Structures are given as structure tokens and as C-alpha cells.
């Protein structure tokens, strides 16, 4: 029989180089697929965050009005700290500028809201200076456009908006600059002087004011500074006004309550000081407490009558200033209606001179007594 030879099994064909390279590439792509997707996901998240941040910036970006409101609030706080008035000219120059000249009303109202809500204060307009001398009245009559001048000369100060029951030294203590003692002493001194001037009819001669200071042992030195420097500071801060006028060849110097004194203290502050000195209760606080007249608050009829008599006398003493101011305004209006006749102004000056001489005689009689 012929021999039959068996063939050996052929080995598996080796993969071609191209196939192996493609397989390795697929494996590497599969291995890198997950990190790449993660990177894409992170990039998408970062882009979303940037979009949201840009949207927030567009939503909360401060406008020019908001910037001016913040500037006005800072100006008001800084001016009040230095006891300087907030002048309209300063607002136009430091806050509004050239671009916001027509936005005064909007910026002012928004600043008022911010001051009331965040600081418990508001800007109150200061009254204009009274024209008491003949020269000042004649100068006012020569003014061609008083309305525009009064608008540009407006000024304000900050006052508290807290209710009356919260305006106590515990809640509103004196500032610590330079010290609480110095600040409280300064407040007490200008309140006392404003009360003295108000109770004397709104004006007081310099000699009579010196006598009051001597009675309180403050004619030379005070806890704040020397008396002459204190008076100058009060005039500078707007609590007092010093008027100098010639009367028959004699120099007459008088003091009046200044614009800041009228707003910060005013007639209500003077009445409160007088009640504290005499130990009398405030009728407004009694009425707020729910008490009426008679014996409802533990007072007898005699005590109630005595309190009412005290309030009437206090009202007459403080009301003298209001009557005198009304007379001065009436005389000024009459002079303006007559074309500013110099004879009327001279007659008014003569009446004021007579009043000054009468006050000086009254002060001399008090010293003699």
C-alpha cells in the first residue's frame, strides 16, 4: 500500500499590521472616550456659568443714577459729620456733574429713601436767613430774580426720623469724636443759648448775652473751649447769627438763632428744655400715654390747672418770636409793594432802633434789680 502522509495543521494567520494598529486605535479611543466626554461636560458647565455670570452682571450692573444716589448719600453723611450744610451747588458739582444736571429730583428722592431705610435719617431744608437790617432789605429788593437765586442757594441738613420715644441718649448717644463728653457739652451749650435767645424774643444784645453767660460761669471758659471761640464756632456751624448795625453812631451787636439751630433745636426743643428745668411733664407725652385731664393720671384739678397755666405762659414766651417774625415779614412785603421806598425802610429801622433801646434799658434795669 502506498504510504499516506498527514499534513500538519496550519498555524493561525497572524494579523496584519494595519489591523493590529486599527484595533489598538479603537481601544485607545474607547479608553479616551470617557475623559473627553468629561472634558466636554466641564467646558459646557464653565460656559453655562460664564453665561449666567454675564446675565447677573447685566441684571445687577449699577446704573449712572444708582452711582449718583450713593454719592449723594455719602456727601450727606460726610457733611453732617462736619456740621456743614448740604448745599445745592455741592450736589451739582460733586454728585450730578454735567451729565446728570437734569436728574436732581430723581437722585434726591432716591437718596432720601436710602437715608430713611438704612440710616434712619432724612435731609431737611434749612430756612433762609432773615433780613433784619436795612441794608439787607434794600439788597433783597434790588434782586432781579429771587426765585432762581433761592433755588440755587438751597441747603439741607440731616435729622433723625426715629419716633419721639426712641430719641433718648441711650439710643442716640453723643458721637465719640473728639469725645462723648466734649460733644455732649457742646450740644448742651448751644441748646441753652438758643433757648435764651428764643425766650428773649428771637434776638438778644451782646451785653445781655454776656450777662447770661456770667450767671452760668461760662463768660470766659467753657468745657469745650474759650467762650469767644465757642461763639465763633456756633456762628460757623449755623446755630447762631451775629448782626452788627450802627444805631445813632453807636455800634449795636445782636445775636439771633441760625438756620441749623432752628431745625435741630427749634421751638419744640426750647419748650422741652424749659419743662426739664421746671420739672414739668410734656402734655404731648401724657396724651400719647392715654391720659386725659383731671385726675386720670394721678393729678388733682389744682395740679392740672397749674400745668395748663404753665403751658400758656411758655407758649406766650415762645410765641413772641413768631409774632415778631410775622411783623417783620409784613413790613418787608409792604415795602416791596410800595416799590422799596427808602422812607419806609428808614421808618422800619427806627422802630427796630427804638426796640433795641427799650431792650437795653430793660436789661440795665434787671442788673440794677
pLDDT for 186-227, tens place per residue?
999 999 999 999 999 899 999 999 999 999 999 999 999 999
Poorest-confidence range of 46-50, 192-196, 358-362?
Answer: 358-362
pLDDT at site 69: 95
CA–CA gap between residue 49 and residue 56 (Å, rounded): 10
Average pLDDT, the chain: 77
CB 258 within 8 A of CB 155: no
Closest to 206 (Cα-Cα) out of 251, 236, 156 = 251
> What percent of the chain clears pLDDT 70, i.e. is strictly above it?
61
3-class DSSP state of 123: strand
Q: Give the 3-state secondary structure percentages of the chain, helix then strand then coil, rounded to 5.
A: 65, 10, 25
pLDDT at site 167: 86
DSSP structure class, residue 105:
H
pLDDT digits 0-9 by tens, 221-247 = 999 999 999 999 999 999 999 998 887
> In terms of pTM, does the model score above 0.85?
no
- What is the distance in angstroms between the CA of the first residue and the CA of the last residue of the chain? 174
Sign for the pseudo-dihedral over CA of 327, 330, 332, 338 = negative
Residues of the chain with CATH 1.10.10.1210: 176-287+306-368
Across the chain, how many H-helices and E-strands are there?
Answer: 14, 6
State which CATH number among 1.10.10.10, 1.10.10.1210, 3.10.350.10, 3.40.50.150 fits the domain covering 176-287+306-368: 1.10.10.1210
CA–CA gap between residue 231 and residue 229 (Å, rounded): 5
Query: What average pLDDT does this structure show over 296-312?
Result: 83
CB 174 within 8 A of CB 187: yes
Of residues 212 and 63, the one with the higher pLDDT is 212
CA–CA gap between residue 238 and residue 228 (Å, rounded): 16
User: Is residue 61 pLDDT above 70, yes or no?
Assistant: no
Amino acid at each position: 500500500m502506498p504510504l499516506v502522509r498527514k499534513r500538519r495543521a496550519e498555524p493561525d494567520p497572524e494579523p496584519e499590521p494595519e489591523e493590529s494598529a486599527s484595533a489598538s486605535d479603537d481601544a485607545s479611543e474607547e479608553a479616551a472616550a470617557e475623559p473627553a466626554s468629561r472634558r466636554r461636560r466641564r467646558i459646557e458647565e464653565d460656559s453655562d456659568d460664564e453665561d449666567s455670570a454675564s446675565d447677573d452682571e447685566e441684571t445687577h450692573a449699577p446704573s449712572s443714577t444708582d452711582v449718583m444716589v450713593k454719592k449723594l448719600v455719602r456727601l450727606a453723611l460726610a457733611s453732617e459729620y462736619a456740621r456743614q450744610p448740604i448745599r445745592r451747588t455741592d450736589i451739582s458739582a460733586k454728585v450730578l456733574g454735567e451729565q446728570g444736571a437734569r436728574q436732581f429730583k430723581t437722585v434726591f428722592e432716591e437718596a432720601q429713601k436710602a437715608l430713611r431705610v438704612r440710616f434712619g435719617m432724612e435731609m431737611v431744608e434749612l430756612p433762609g436767613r432773615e433780613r433784619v437790617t436795612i441794608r439787607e432789605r434794600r439788597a433783597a429788593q434790588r434782586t432781579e430774580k429771587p426765585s432762581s437765586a433761592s433755588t440755587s442757594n438751597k441747603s439741607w441738613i440731616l435729622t433723625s426720623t426715629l419716633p419721639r420715644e426712641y430719641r433718648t441718649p441711650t439710643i442716640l448717644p453723643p458721637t465719640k469724636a473728639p469725645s462723648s463728653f466734649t460733644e455732649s457739652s457742646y450740644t448742651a451749650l448751644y441748646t441753652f443759648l438758643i433757648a435764651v435767645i428764643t425766650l428773649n424774643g428771637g434776638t438778644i444784645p451782646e451785653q445781655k448775652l454776656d450777662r447770661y453767660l456770667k450767671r452760668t460761669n461760662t463768660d470766659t471758659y467753657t468745657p469745650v473751649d474759650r467762650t469767644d471761640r465757642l461763639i465763633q464756632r456756633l456762628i460757623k456751624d449755623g446755630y447762631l447769627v451775629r448782626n452788627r448795625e450802627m444805631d445813632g453812631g453807636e455800634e449795636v451787636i445782636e445775636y439771633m438763632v441760625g438756620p441749623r439751630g432752628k431745625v435741630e433745636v427749634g421751638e419744640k426743643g426750647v419748650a422741652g428744655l424749659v419743662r426739664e428745668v421746671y420739672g414739668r411733664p410734656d402734655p404731648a407725652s401724657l396724651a400719647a400715654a392715654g391720659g386725659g385731664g383731671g385726675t386720670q393720671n394721678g393729678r388733682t384739678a389744682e395740679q392740672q390747672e397749674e400745668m395748663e397755666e404753665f403751658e400758656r405762659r411758655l407758649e406766650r414766651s415762645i410765641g413772641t418770636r413768631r409774632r415778631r417774625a410775622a411783623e417783620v415779614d409784613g413790613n418787608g412785603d409792604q415795602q416791596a409793594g410800595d416799590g422799596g421806598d427808602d422812607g419806609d425802610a428808614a421808618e422800619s429801622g427806627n422802630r427796630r432802633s427804638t426796640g433795641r433801646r427799650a431792650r437795653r434799658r430793660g436789661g440795665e434795669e434787671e442788673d440794677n434789680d
